[in-house]
């Protein structure tokens, strides 16, 4: 159903993992839905920059939404991943005590987890820990078999693509500036790309959910950005750990402590730190935290050397609780008391990735209480991702190349990504055109040479596919141009100016 005049039944503000999950959940019903995302792709705010952990649910206070939705999300995660073709591996987690005093903390976590109905939790001694994790130091651990890992970017993209296939409209590079309530009780949403109207607004703007909430009413919501920095280790050392390795959480900390996370692709992440910062767009990495992360990783295993680091990055948590208080407040998922049909999702930090689908279901429940939405009988829960050449057996590889010779061209050497995969990523259904959109979809440029070999090739394929001028090739959305123009065609104005100036100077002399 094509909407008229940019009018939708429901507008979701924010294309993070939660916004995309809500979009997919709503596409199961006969409603017109739009997602407005201010960046050039989905998931760039919080969703793509975390540990990619599918939490079991023992870290959260019993009775809270965080606990309930996390456990629910963990249980349904494998099925979701199967439907939308996202990798997910139940590798289990160990929370490691280094000192005697910490064992009490393990017991607390275990009983908290059991109250939350987390299954299989077990306290293990140092011998058992050694067997699970030969390279990790510790005197005891809490073992959680239900904890899994996934790809946070592929999950967000897959949810969005499946929603799109089921009729949801996505508007990228669309930033909401203000929201007004019209006389007919619809909303008018003003963006940098024009106006939208809708009957419902769902505020899943993550870091900016407070700002969006304030656009319609005065309330007490406030989001503090809390930064977490990470190191990524070379795949060559993936043998260092087998499970997620966490420290015992400290009371009042903004995160779960610096941990070691095997990623779904075979790297290891060290991090994240937790540091309240002022600006919501400050994704810097800092030398002091980088040093701290390396040092803390060595507390787990002295074998971890800074020489294994191939990249460092940071992400942000959308925290409600001010730094002075510390710890966590529960998720807020509720309709506004004063403004009809406005639903707020505030402070969705960890375990938001795990809980994305249950959160989405809850939002739909809220709407359904009032609207009784009709099922969309043509909803297709399945979506196929980009086939990974490297993961196929030899026979299939040969067949693939025969059908599509572009599978025979390796573009990214480190991750062995083929031209066919790059082309599929470039022609992604959401229409994201940045270089990092290709990176997130294929893993090209994520290996140890960090794009040294393939970046220029991918830029060329991107430019040819969309007939872009050099300056239109972006790293990550607007204003992140990679090139300033052609070298030989002096279209570059500052270049011309400078040359003519120096000529004049010569004349003056």
Positions annotated as catalytic residues are 55
* 148 touches other proteins (CB under 8 A): no
* 465 touches other proteins (CB under 8 A): no
Q: Mask: binding to other proteins, 289-328, rule CB under 8 A, as x and -?
A: -x---------------x--xxxxx---------------
Nearer to other proteins, 285 or 366 (CB): 285
When binding is defined by CB under 8 A, the residue of 34, 35, 223, 232 that contacts other proteins is 232
- In angstroms, the CA 259 to CA 242 distance is 13
Nearer to other proteins, 385 or 408 (CB): 408
Task: Render 89-111 in DSSP notation, one character per residue.
Answer: E---EEEEE-STHHHHHHHHHHH
* 122 touches other proteins (CB under 8 A): no
Nearer to other proteins, 122 or 469 (CB): 469
Task: Render 216-227 in DSSP notation, one character per residue.
Answer: TS------EEEE
- Residue pair 61/67 in contact (Cβ under 8 Å)? The answer is yes
Start-to-end CA span in the chain (Å): 71
* 456 touches other proteins (CB under 8 A): yes
When binding is defined by CB under 8 A, the residue of 64, 126, 190, 492 that contacts other proteins is 492
Nearer to other proteins, 310 or 366 (CB): 310
* 405 touches other proteins (CB under 8 A): yes
Report the nearest approach of other proteins to the CB of residue 45 (Å).
Answer: 13
* 387 touches other proteins (CB under 8 A): no
Render the burial of 76-103: b for 16+ CB within 10 Å, e for the rest.
ebeebbeebbbbbeebbbbbbbeeeebb
Rule CB under 8 A: which of 261-290 touch other proteins?
Answer: 281-287, 290
* 165 touches other proteins (CB under 8 A): no
When binding is defined by CB under 8 A, the residue of 499, 500, 501, 503 that contacts other proteins is 499
When binding is defined by CB under 8 A, the residue of 203, 455, 458, 461 that contacts other proteins is 455
* 377 touches other proteins (CB under 8 A): no
- In angstroms, the CA 429 to CA 437 distance is 12
Report the nearest approach of other proteins to the CB of residue 222 (Å).
Answer: 23
Burial of residue 483 (number of CB atoms within 10 Å: 0-12, 13-18, 19+): middle
Nearer to other proteins, 56 or 458 (CB): 458
Of the candidate spans 81-89, 121-129, 146-154, 483-491, the one that interacts with other proteins by CB under 8 A turns out to be 483-491
Helix (H) or strand (E) holding 79: helix 65-84
* 467 touches other proteins (CB under 8 A): no
* 475 touches other proteins (CB under 8 A): yes
Task: Supply φ then ψ for residue 7, to 5 degrees.
Answer: -100, 130
When binding is defined by CB under 8 A, the residue of 408, 431, 468, 472 that contacts other proteins is 408
Q: Minimal CA–CA distance to 232: which of 277, 255, 264?
A: 264
Nearer to other proteins, 168 or 232 (CB): 232
Q: Minimal CA–CA distance to 465: which of 437, 430, 424, 408?
A: 424
When binding is defined by CB under 8 A, the residue of 82, 380, 398, 465 that contacts other proteins is 398
* 476 touches other proteins (CB under 8 A): yes
Question: Using alpha carbons only, how large is the chain's radius of gyration in Å?
Answer: 24
- Residue pair 45/206 in contact (Cβ under 8 Å)? The answer is yes
* 410 touches other proteins (CB under 8 A): yes
Render the burial of 360-377: b for 16+ CB within 10 Å, e for the rest.
bbbbbebbeeebebeeee
* 449 touches other proteins (CB under 8 A): yes
When binding is defined by CB under 8 A, the residue of 368, 480, 500, 503 that contacts other proteins is 480
* 104 touches other proteins (CB under 8 A): no
DSSP-assigned letter for residue 237: G
Of the candidate spans 50-58, 189-197, 357-365, 484-492, the one that interacts with other proteins by CB under 8 A turns out to be 484-492
CA dist 39 → 5, 14, 83 (Å): 23, 9, 26
Nearer to other proteins, 184 or 488 (CB): 488
- Residue pair 209/331 in contact (Cβ under 8 Å)? The answer is no
Burial of residue 156 (number of CB atoms within 10 Å: 0-12, 13-18, 19+): buried
* 495 touches other proteins (CB under 8 A): yes
* 394 touches other proteins (CB under 8 A): yes
Neighbours of 106 (CB within 10 A): 20
Give the interface with other proteins as residue ranges (CB under 8 A).
232, 236, 281-287, 290, 306, 309-313, 394, 397-398, 401-402, 405-406, 408-410, 413-414, 416, 449-453, 455-456, 460, 470, 474-488, 490, 492, 494-495, 498-499
């Amino acid at each position: 159903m094509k909407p008229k005049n940019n009018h939708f039944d429901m507008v979701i503000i924010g294309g993070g993992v939660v916004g995309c999950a809500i979009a997919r959940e709503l596409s199961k019903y006969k409603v017109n839905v739009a997602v407005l995302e201010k960046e050039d792709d989905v998931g760039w705010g919080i969703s793509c920059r975390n540990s990619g952990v599918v939490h079991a649910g023992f870290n959260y206070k019993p009775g809270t939404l965080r606990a309930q939705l996390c456990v629910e999300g963990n249980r349904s995660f494998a099925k979701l991943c199967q439907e939308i073709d996202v990798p997910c591996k139940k590798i289990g987690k160990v929370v490691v005590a280094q000192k005697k005093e910490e064992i009490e903390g393990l017991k607390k976590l275990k009983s908290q987890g059991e109250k939350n109905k987390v299954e299989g939790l077990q306290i293990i001694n140092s011998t058992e820990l050694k067997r699970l994790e030969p390279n990790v130091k510790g005197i005891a651990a809490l073992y959680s078999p239900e904890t899994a890992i996934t790809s946070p970017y592929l999950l967000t993209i897959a949810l969005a693509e499946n929603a799109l296939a089921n009729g949801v409209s996505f508007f990228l590079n669309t930033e909401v500036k203000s929201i007004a309530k019209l006389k007919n009780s619809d909303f008018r949403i003003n963006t940098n790309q024009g106006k939208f109207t809708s009957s419902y607004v769902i505020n899943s703007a993550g870091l900016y959910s407070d700002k969006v909430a304030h656009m319609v009413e005065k309330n007490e919501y406030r989001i503090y950005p809390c930064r977490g920095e990470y190191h990524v280790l070379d795949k060559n050392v993936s043998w260092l750990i087998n499970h997620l390795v966490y420290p015992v959480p400290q009371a009042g900390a903004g995160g779960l402590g610096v941990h070691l996370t095997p990623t779904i692709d075979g790297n290891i992440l060290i991090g994240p730190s937790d540091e309240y910062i002022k600006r919501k767009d400050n994704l810097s990495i800092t030398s002091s935290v980088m040093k701290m992360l390396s040092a803390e990783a060595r507390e787990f295993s002295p074998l971890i050397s800074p020489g294994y680091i191939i990249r460092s990055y940071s992400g942000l948590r959308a925290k409600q609780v001010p730094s002075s208080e510390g710890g966590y407040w529960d998720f807020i998922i509720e309709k506004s008391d004063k403004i009809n049909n406005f639903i707020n999702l505030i402070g969705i930090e960890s375990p938001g990735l795990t809980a994305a689908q249950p959160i989405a279901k809850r939002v739909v429940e809220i709407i359904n209480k009032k609207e009784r939405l009709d099922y969309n009988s043509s909803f297709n829960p399945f979506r196929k991702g980009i086939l990974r050449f490297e993961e196929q057996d030899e026979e299939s590889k040969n067949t693939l190349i025969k059908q599509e010779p572009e599978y025979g061209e390796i573009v990214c050497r480190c991750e062995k990504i083929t031209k066919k995969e790059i082309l599929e990523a470039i022609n992604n259904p959401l229409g994201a055109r940045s270089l990092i959109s290709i990176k997130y979809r294929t893993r090209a440029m994520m290996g140890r040479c960090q794009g040294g070999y393939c970046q220029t090739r991918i830029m060329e394929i991107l430019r040819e596919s969309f007939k872009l001028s050099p300056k239109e090739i972006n790293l990550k959305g607007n204003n992140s141009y990679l090139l300033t123009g052609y070298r030989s065609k002096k279209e570059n104005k500052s270049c011309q100016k400078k040359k003519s100036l120096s000529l004049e100077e010569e004349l003056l002399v």
